[in-house]
Amino acid sequence: MKPVPDPAGSVAVSMEVNGRTVERTVNSRRLLADLLRDELRLTGTHLGCEHGVCGACTVLVDGQPVRSCLMLAVQADGCEVTTVEGITPKDGLSPMQQAFKDHHGLQCGFCTPGFLMTLAGVEPEDHPDEESVRELLAGNLCRCTGYEGIVDAVMAAWDRSR
C-alpha cells in the first residue's frame, strides 16, 4: 500500500471572524470548525458528530447558519463568519441567551451554541408558532433538555404566547 500523500497543500485565506479580519495559511482539508477552534481558539463552537447531523457546530457564514463541520476553512475565504463568541455582548447576555437562561434552555450547554447560532440566522416571522419553532430546531440535537426549555426560551424571546 502506498502512503496517502499528506495533503499538505496549503492555501492562504482571509476572512472576517466576529468582525475581525483573520489571515491564515490553512491546510486545504482543514475544516472551518477546526480553524475556528484550534487555530483561532474560538472554542464555543462545538463538534458533536462531525457529519452534519447534530448542529452543535453551527456558525453563521455571511449571515446564514452553516455546519462548520461540513465546510472547509478554505471555502470560507472572503466570508464573514460569526460564532457564539461574536453574538455575546461585552457585558451580560443577548436577549436570546438570557431567555435560554431564564427558561432553563440548557443543562450541559454543549449543544447550546449551535442552537443559538441557528436562531441568530433566521427571521422570527418565518417561524410564527410553536410547531414551526420546533421544526426549525429539529436540525439541532440536544440530549439533556428534552427541548422544552429551549422551545420556551425561543417563544419568550420572540414574544410569542404559548
Site residues, ligand FES (CB under 6 A): 47-50, 52-57, 67, 69, 106-112, 142-145
Stretch that binds another protein, among 26-34, 60-68, 72-80, 119-127 (CB under 8 A): 26-34
Which does residue 29 touch among another protein, ligand FES, none (CB within 5 to 8 A, set by kind)? another protein
| Smallest distance from another protein to CB 48, Å | 5
Which does residue 65 touch among another protein, ligand FES, none (CB within 5 to 8 A, set by kind)? none
Stretch that binds another protein, among 9-17, 35-43, 60-68, 74-82 (CB under 8 A): 35-43
| Smallest distance from ligand FES to CB 57, Å | 3
Does residue 58 touch another protein according to CB under 8 A?
no
What residue spans of 44-162 are helical by DSSP H?
84-87, 95-102, 112-120, 130-137, 148-157
Dist. CA 79–CA 61, nearest whole Å = 6
CB 76 within 8 A of CB 12: no
Which does residue 146 touch among another protein, ligand FES, none (CB within 5 to 8 A, set by kind)? another protein
Cβ-based neighbours of 118, under 8 Å, separated by 6 or more: 55, 58, 65, 136, 137, 139, 140
CB 97 within 8 A of CB 109: no
CB 136 within 8 A of CB 118: yes
